[in-house]
Amino acid sequence: MLSCVFARAVMIGSWGSVLALAWSAVISPDIRWRFAAMFLSALALAPSLVLGFRQVVKELPLPEPREQPLPEIGMLTQDQALDDPQTGIYVDQPTGLASRRYLTMFLAREINRSGRARAPISVAVFDVDAYQDLEQEAGAGAINLALADVGARLKSALREYDLVARYAPGRLALILPETEARGAEEVIERLHELATSVCVNGRPLSVTVGISTFPDHGATAEELINSAHHALNQGKFAAANTVYTLEGLKKAS
């Protein structure tokens, strides 16, 4: 506030001095004084011009930082992922789903976008129950094929801008932009039926799901995923093979 008042005082004084010098130059018969008055007027006007320029620069809107585009991730085959090293770091090779690295980058970008737009975003973590026992019984290859099948079914039921990724050996993660907690729960309930319709060794998968929502359950990608894991782990104590949310709970740290 004080700086603004000072700037105005300087500008008023500067223009006042310029007017006084200009008037004296007009009425003075001495040609040398007229040139001196013009020079002094330019000096007196300089502070006003500098302050005005600084104010214009200050009020100019700054351009928003441009987001780096992420590559499009589809259901790629293992050979395609291996042949392209740039794509391979974003793709889980055994399933062809987006990788954990891509998931983290995608979620961070969507959180920034949702924060600016004040829009919700939901995260769901699908966990295969008794994964280690199932892997020993059926083998890693069979589990990877089953997870690839689950991922394909989930993607077919989601929007183009949603994301399905492999987060861990027995876990898939879903990112649902512009989706609040209640809407996410309804969507995930339907997707859970698709996931548990996939069979391994002739038996349907048992899958427990945890859901969290920005900004209620986290302000960063790590907080949101931790919150979804928290709901997942809490739910397993009650009953596996169902869907749990963090509605009403605090952010997970």
Average of per-residue pLDDT values in the chain: 79
Q: What is the mean pLDDT of each run of 10 residues along the chain (253 residues)?
A: 53 58 58 59 60 55 53 47 55 93 94 92 96 92 95 95 95 96 95 96 94 94 94 89 74 43
The pLDDT of residue 73: 53
3-state secondary structure of 252: coil
Q: How far apart are CA 141 and CA 159, in angstroms?
A: 29
- Residue ranges of E strands in 80-234: 121-128, 163-168, 171-177, 199-200, 203-204, 207-214
> Are 33 and 25 contacting, i.e. CB atoms less than 8 angstroms apart?
yes
- Closest residue by Cα to residue 182 from 155, 227, 213, 158: 213
pLDDT the model gives residue 77: 41
pLDDT at 237: 84
Report whether 120 contacts 214 (CB < 8 A): yes
Instruction: Provide the pLDDT for residue 80.
Output: 44
Backbone dihedral angles phi then psi of residue 204, each to the nearest 5 degrees: -65, 145
**Side-chain-facing half-sphere of 136: CA atoms under 13 Å:** 3
Spacing of C-alpha 3 from chain mean position: 37
Tokens of 227: 């919150």
User: Against a cut of 0.85, is the pTM above it?
Assistant: no
Over residues 87-96, the pLDDT tens digits come to 558 899 999 9
At 78 the pLDDT is 40
Sheet holding 243-245, edge to edge: 163-168, 171-177, 121-128, 207-214, 243-245
Measure CA of the first residue to CA of the last residue in the chain; give whole Å: 40
Measure the CA–CA gap between 127 and 210, rounded to whole angstroms.
Answer: 8
Per-residue model confidence (pLDDT) at position 177 = 96
What was the pLDDT predicted at 51? 56
pLDDT for position 100: 93
List, in sequence order, the alpha helices (H) in 118-220. 131-138, 140-156, 181-195
CA separation for the pair 252, 104 (Å, rounded): 17
Between CA 215 and CA 46 the distance in angstroms is 50
Whether 191 and 154 have beta carbons less than 8 Å apart is answered as yes
Percent of the chain with pLDDT over 90: 57
* Contact (Cβ atoms closer than 8 angstroms) between residue 203 and residue 143: no
Buried b (16+ CB within 10 A) or exposed e, 191-209: bbebbbebebeeeebbbbb
